[in-house]
Amino acid sequence: MSQDTQKQAVADAAIEYVQVGDVIGVGTGSTADCFIRSLARIKGKLDGAVASSEATASQLRQLGIPVLDLNQVGSLPLYVDGADEATRNRHLIKGGGGALTREKIVAQASEKFICIADQSKLVDRLGPFPLPIEVISMARSMVAREMVRHGGQPELRDGFTTDNGHLILDIRGLDILNPVELERQINQIPGVVTVGLFALRPANLLLIGTDSGVETI
């Protein structure tokens, strides 16, 4: 099964968790795009959606799905999004698409976070994928130096500004033995808006596309 077929298979599997009258959180990226395409088939079931990026908001609007402000809806029953890496503990690296801050907000506001991914994303230990950190511009060099102290090699994402008007540092070379502790430590660095580690609030369910079908973790 190709990577694209696996992405569509997990997107279709996630649709089964949508209930009539739900307002759900919708993520960002190519796997989330597959989910948005699947949502089109059942959009009548939804009362609306909260988007994790401007790109997702515009796709949802094009489908005629009302895009709501999180402040107006409170907690969400369900959030569906992809990941750059995932472990069987359901810890994730996210932010390859730069939407990590809004993704973490929507995940935190959701009762159930379903992460959908093709099998290339499943790893034994997080770290081969460069860890994205959204930073306030004036703190970028200081945060980069702190990450060197953590054993990483930071690189400013060239020409990229997030939906929130901030920058992204991508940190290569981290071997993430304790994702919960590392997320806590990076959260403490002044100037860090969000780190793309999702371990303090992991996914509730991972749907992984494999050659033999969808594996639920």
Out of 9, 14, 26, 29, the only residue in the binding site for ligand 5RP (CB under 6 A) is 29
From the CA atom positions of the chain, what is the Rg in Å? 17
- Alpha-carbon span 103 to 108, nearest angstrom: 9
**Rounded least distance, CB 81 to ligand 5RP, Å:** 5
Q: Do 57 and 66 contact (CB within 8 A), yes or no?
A: no
Q: Which among 126, 129, 118 is positioned nearest to 87, based on CA atoms?
A: 126
Cα separation of 142 and 206, whole Å?
Answer: 35
Pick the catalytic residue: 16, 54, 85, 103?
103
Q: How far is the CB of 142 from ligand 5RP (least distance, A)?
A: 24
Nearest to 193 by CA among 128, 88, 102, 62: 102
Residue of 71, 58, 72 whose CA lies nearest to 26: 58
Minimum CB distance to ligand 5RP, residue 196 (Å): 7
Residue that is written with structure tokens 């609306």 in the block: 48
Site string for ligand 5RP, 114-153 (x = CB under 6 A): ----------------------------------------
Contacts with ligand 5RP by CB under 6 A: the residue count is 17
Spatial strand order in the sheet of 92-93: 85-86, 92-93, 197-198
Min. distance of Cβ 63 from ligand 5RP in angstroms? 18
Q: Is 85 a catalytic residue?
A: no
Q: Does 31 bind ligand 5RP (CB under 6 A)?
A: yes
**Range in contact with ligand 5RP (rule: CB under 6 A) among 8-16, 24-32, 36-44, 106-114:** 24-32
Task: Using CB positions, name the residue nearest to ligand 5RP.
Answer: 29
CB atoms within 10 A of CB 7: 23
83-112 binders of ligand 5RP (CB under 6 A): 83-84, 94-100, 103
What amino acid occupies position 152? G
Residues of the shown chain interacting with ligand 5RP in the complex, contacts defined by CB under 6 A: 27-31, 81-84, 94-100, 103
Give the residue numbers annotated as catalytic, written as ranges: 103
